[in-house]
Structure 1
Amino acid sequence: MIDVILNKGKEKAALQRHPWIFSGAINKVQGAPLNGEVVKVLAADKSFLAYGYYNSQSRVAVRLLEWEENNTIDTDWYRHKLKQSIAARAHVLKNDDTNTCRLVFSEADYLPGLIVDKYAGFLSLQILSAGIETVKEDIINILRAELNPAGIFDKSDATARTHENLELSQGLLWGEVPPEFIEVKENGVRYHINIADGQKSGFYCDQRDNREILAAYTQEKEVLDCFCYSGGFTLNSLKNGAKHVTSVDSSALAIETLKHNLGLNGFTEDQQTSIQSDVNKQLRVFKEEGKKFDVIILDPPKYAPSRSALDRAARAYKDLNRLGMLLLKPGGMMATYSCSGAVDLETFKQIIAWAALDAEKEVQIIRQFHQPEDHPVRISFPEGEYLKGLLIRVL
């Protein structure tokens, strides 16, 4: 095995079991490892630190996997990690009301670069590191043996692959081709999801808990669901007795899927309005029309993919939330989210404070939202805590 020796004083993160070694921390690579090959990481004094995937093309030059020198990274090691991750989610799927969740969450489950989502009888895989790419067949075979899915679909079309010098990839890996719409259940709500053409891995199961929590505030309310995608917040609100929900998304497929899901759950056209439009533009239209809502949901895409984009993202979040506040009835509530890992909760609160100042509104924080348990946050990898949200009351 090839040794990667760190510069003096650069071993602290590895000793604290953080999974990333940046290229600037490396003093010497003894040999010429292939991208994705497992290497041994040593401190400057040659003491063992960890095993990890090497990639000369990535700013994160080594993604650490194992800190016990006597453990071997082989098929049995991957089988143990996958079984451990799957078992940790078993109780989420025991309830007949839910048959979809995230089974593997990359670094949080000690498998950096691997995401596995379960959608009823199908699995959706995202492979985002060269290391996982090299053992893709082992991963597929283990998942087949452990879960016996109808099919396994590759959704490795995220731009994160380009940072690992990997081409984007999508298509059937094993078994049946998923139908155009797979029917899944989450918290008793039924959804048609499209793996091949849908966003991310096909569905945003990271909002499962938050959808159910927020629904309790929407009974007999006029609700605006922005960036609605396939209708998670919309459907939960209607299930809980919302008077009417207006749902906005720029994607034609999202609006089409939402309409499927409304019918699937027995909701009628007079209970909901779908609008295909840019959200910021539509919010301005509502403002000009004098529209007001009791509850507004803002669940935008990732505005800050990295810390270098933080300033631009902060301005975008501020403007979006300012517009939302101006559309609320007095005492109305807004659930606002950020899925940008570069935006921590305190920064997000500050952005909301700036938005309130610009909107000339008084705001109270009612509660905070987080990602659910199938998206755990590893204590040595705080970067994994990406989803945060606030429920605010605007006075």
Structure 2
Amino acid sequence: MIASSFPVLRLKPKANARAIRHGAPWVYDNELVLDRRSKNLAPGTIAVLEDAERNPMGLVATNPLSRITARMIERDVSVAIDQAWFAAKIKRALELRERLFDHPFYRLIHAEADGLPGLVVDRFDSALVVQPNAAWLEVLIEPLATALAEVTGATTILKNAAGRTRVLEGLDDENGVLLGTAPNAPVMVPMNGAHYAADLTGGQKTGLFYDQRPNHAFAARLSEGADVLDVFSHVGGFGLAALAGGAKSALCVDGSAPALALAELGAKDAGFGDTMSTRKGDAFDVLEALGKDGAQYDVVICDPPAFAPGKAKLEVGLRAYERLAKMAAPLVKEGGYLVLCSCSHAADLGKFRFACTRGIGRADRAGSLIHTGFAGPDHPLMPQLAESGYLKALFYRL
């Protein structure tokens, strides 16, 4: 691709060009002059973004069907967006992860913060799972996959089917395999002394959530000799880490039977089969039942899905976090620990902390906030994009 062949998108005179020049990665539809030509651009088209005075600002990946119509991908408008371009971005991301981790199990590409808007790539040793969340990545999936294999040496590359974009005809294998052969069994992932069973083909998102790694480790430090309750446990994230940290027992609660089966597999693989138990059911129903039974634990952890996935759901989501804290707090023994997590980018830290603390108070409990955790460094935060700082974990001693 050469810059002269790219179509042009132009900012409106009142658009905040300064913010884009200073690193803001997204351009919304109401900031652009959208005529018939630009509205008819195929999703995923690469274009030159110009300011209102027709000065080039960089290359953007476009999608006229999205409110985020343009995503900044490259400041140099003369650069070709090809396999070599992808390889340079991937090498830079890989260098950071290889400094951080002794073993090749981590998030390799974290979207905008790694210069590849909308792209998530998780690494499982020689296998990579790619989640393309923007149309331009679907269009360029072949040079992307080739570059990933070139830089990392991966022998298996899978495309996660749960990505938010539709598969474009002819660009994706029916079974989601971009390279190699899909594994026919869960991949065992060592993390914080625990073993996690990741289903790379049928699991949630890429098969495992690496972002909670540092929070798992902190919870494990609190769990020596403890009875632990892990609610919304998925494949046993906090529960398995707690057992690796010396917990006496861990009860993992989740609504998904396949996820709990993977948790049990991880426990067995690490030798914790006798100390882990699972319970399938709606988390709020289980919390209510445990409360009626008078059950109490030294450590209670709640890591729910996003209750406030966007601004429209913020108030409803905050009430759900408050309710969760109110129901979980009575299950914590005197002097024990309550861990409450949120992956809702719309609920910032202050709002989330207020909702949780209010819920604890409504349960007639009190305590101190001893630690606030965030996503690990393989999930870097882009300072100009508040949405990239989505994960929060609050550790209370009650």
Is residue 248 of structure 1 aligned with residue 253 of structure 2?
Answer: yes
TM-score (norm 2): 0.93
Q: Check the 8 A contact 1:337/1:390 in 2, yes or no.
A: yes
| Percentage of pairs with the same residue | 28
Corresponding position of 1:388: 392
> What are the equivalent positions in structure 2 for 1:97-176 lying under 5 Å apart?
98-158=103-163, 160-161=164-165, 171-176=176-181
Q: Check the 8 A contact 1:224/1:296 in 2, yes or no.
A: yes
Corresponding position of 1:68: 76
In structure 2, C-alpha distance between the alignment counterparts of 1:186 and 1:150, rounded to whole Å: 22
Q: Residues 206-226 of structure 1, C-alpha deviation per residue, up to 9 Å, x if partnerless?
A: 111111111000111111111
Shift of 1:188: 3.1
Corresponding position of 1:239: 244
| Secondary structure of 1:161 counterpart | coil
Please point out which of 85, 91, 94 is paired with 1:77: 85
Q: Residues 309-346 of structure 1, C-alpha deviation per residue, up to 9 Å, x if partnerless?
A: 11111111111111111111112111111011111111
Moved more, 4-13 or 244-253: 4-13
Corresponding position of 1:12: 18
Q: Check the 8 A contact 1:161/1:168 in 2, yes or no.
A: no
Corresponding position of 1:24: 30
In structure 2, C-alpha distance between the alignment counterparts of 1:170 and 1:334, rounded to whole Å: 41
In structure 2, C-alpha distance between the alignment counterparts of 1:212 and 1:263, rounded to whole Å: 20
Corresponding position of 1:184: 189
Q: Check the 8 A contact 1:6/1:42 in 2, yes or no.
A: yes
> What are the equivalent positions in structure 2 for 1:342-361 lying under 5 Å apart?
342-361=346-365
Q: Residues 167, 338 of structure 1: CA spacing in aligned structure 2 closer, same or farther, 3 A cutoff? A: farther
One-letter identity of the residue aligned with 2:322: K
Corresponding position of 2:45: 37
Provide the alpha-carbon RMSD of the alignment. 2.1
One-letter identity of the residue aligned with 2:310: S
Q: Residues 15, 169 of structure 1: CA spacing in aligned structure 2 closer, same or farther, 3 A cutoff? A: farther
One-letter identity of the residue aligned with 1:82: I
Q: Residues 254, 348 of structure 1: CA spacing in aligned structure 2 closer, same or farther, 3 A cutoff? A: same
In structure 1, C-alpha distance between the alignment counterparts of 2:176 and 2:167, rounded to whole Å: 21
Paired residues, number = 389
In structure 2, C-alpha distance between the alignment counterparts of 1:287 and 1:168, rounded to whole Å: 48
In structure 1, C-alpha distance between the alignment counterparts of 2:77 and 2:182, rounded to whole Å: 41
Structure 1 residue runs of 5 or longer lacking an equivalent are none
Please point out which of 280, 299, 305 is paired with 1:295: 299
In structure 2, C-alpha distance between the alignment counterparts of 1:60 and 1:217, rounded to whole Å: 42
In structure 1, C-alpha distance between the alignment counterparts of 2:339 and 2:97, rounded to whole Å: 27
| Secondary structure of 1:282 counterpart | helix
One-letter identity of the residue aligned with 1:114: L
TM-score (norm 1): 0.94
In structure 2, C-alpha distance between the alignment counterparts of 1:50 and 1:150, rounded to whole Å: 34
Shift of 1:6: 1.1
Please point out which of 225, 234, 240 is paired with 1:229: 234
Q: Check the 8 A contact 2:82/2:143 in 1, yes or no.
A: no
Corresponding position of 2:217: 212
One-letter identity of the residue aligned with 1:266: G
Structure 2 residue runs of 5 or longer lacking an equivalent are 1-5
One-letter identity of the residue aligned with 2:298: D
| Secondary structure of 1:323 counterpart | helix
Q: Residues 207, 170 of structure 1: CA spacing in aligned structure 2 closer, same or farther, 3 A cutoff? A: farther
| Secondary structure of 1:234 counterpart | helix
| Secondary structure of 1:352 counterpart | helix
Please point out which of 83, 97, 107 is paired with 1:89: 97
Q: Residues 295, 157 of structure 1: CA spacing in aligned structure 2 closer, same or farther, 3 A cutoff? A: same
In structure 2, C-alpha distance between the alignment counterparts of 1:353 and 1:217, rounded to whole Å: 20
In structure 1, C-alpha distance between the alignment counterparts of 2:270 and 2:245, rounded to whole Å: 12
Moved more, 174-183 or 362-371: 174-183
In structure 2, C-alpha distance between the alignment counterparts of 1:28 and 1:319, rounded to whole Å: 44
In structure 2, C-alpha distance between the alignment counterparts of 1:123 and 1:286, rounded to whole Å: 39
One-letter identity of the residue aligned with 2:221: A
Corresponding position of 1:200: 205
